[in-house]
Homo-oligomer: A and B are copies of this chain.
């Protein structure tokens, strides 16, 4: 069993690689839910959906969010009625949010309704929300605190961020399924999602970091950084909030005590010494994943590398 910690668009590519190369039913993906939002009375879990659509083979390829070939008729209707529609939800995508909202209202847990959705999409992996409790990433820009989606989607992550909080995380509990996925993992992978926006919220749920720290299995991170910027999204700029430089070596320092090895891009081979000095193993390879073949290769190299550690 392999367990991955994952955010949305960036990380789901590697999660897909892992899913493709592993036997069925041997991957757990613990997914960030701190980006979840309630919109028009509907509960939306963007990262869970991106992972499920990606593993289910229906994700929109170009944009990275939503469903391939989706239409936006309902959204135009909501616009007619004067609702905010900067968060673009397609018609087919809407079915997911309607299902989830209704299931939660009927008393189902987010974990249980995510399992149902994933199973209906034919996914032979466990897609696990990090918690069934409410956690919300909020970002400070100047003197304004923004919700995550306001920052990321409405403002297109173009604002400079001075602080970040995962509101509610102290009181959140990891689910039994998450703790069991960590306990039973032969390898734990922190995928190349945005560290501040996707991985740290998961690690901040009380009990999850401790479970990973205590795991006897090899634990590796795949770095989203190349040089001082990230492959996708605003990871670099946000890294400085952690007090570490926006590099793969900075990421290794951020994940110290939590990982045994890091996969970084060949272009950052020169950071090897600095990372190894932290007693963290290094695999330098091409980490850019454009095709399924890239994803499979990085996934396979990551697992092989992890198994060589400890």
Give the chain B neighbours of A105 by CB distance below 8 A.
41
Q: Is the CB of B98 within 8 A of A42?
A: yes
Closest 8 CB pairs of A and B: A77-B95, A41-B102, A73-B91, A91-B91, A81-B99, A74-B91, A74-B95, A77-B92
Stretch at the interface among A115-123, A138-146, A247-255, A289-297: A115-123
Give the chain B neighbours of A78 by CB distance below 8 A.
95, 98-99
A70 at the interface (CB under 8 A from B): yes
Tell me the chain A residues, 118-151 only, with Cβ under 8 Å from chain B: 120-121
**Chain A residues in the interface with B (C-beta under 8 A):** 40-42, 70-71, 73-78, 80-83, 90-96, 98-99, 101-102, 105, 116-117, 120-121
Q: Closest chain B residue to A95 by CB distance?
A: B77
Pairs A–B under 8 Å by Cβ, sample size 22: A41-B98, A41-B101, A41-B102, A42-B98, A70-B73, A71-B71, A73-B73, A73-B91, A74-B74, A74-B94, A75-B95, A76-B95, A77-B92, A77-B99, A78-B98, A80-B95, A81-B95, A81-B96, A81-B120, A91-B91, A91-B94, A94-B94
| Chain B proximity of A207: nearest CB distance (Å) | 31
Q: Is the CB of A91 within 8 A of B71?
A: yes
Give the chain B neighbours of A70 by CB distance below 8 A.
73
Give the chain B neighbours of A81 by CB distance below 8 A.
95-96, 99, 116-117, 120
Q: Is the CB of A80 within 8 A of B40?
A: no
Give the chain B neighbours of A90 by CB distance below 8 A.
73
Q: Is the CB of A77 within 8 A of B96?
A: yes
CA distance A117 to B77 in the complex (A): 10
User: Given A82-B116, A91-B91, 20 other A-B contacts at CB below 8 A?
Assistant: A40-B99, A40-B102, A41-B98, A41-B105, A42-B102, A73-B91, A74-B74, A74-B91, A74-B95, A74-B98, A77-B93, A78-B95, A80-B95, A80-B120, A81-B96, A81-B116, A81-B117, A82-B120, A94-B94, A94-B98
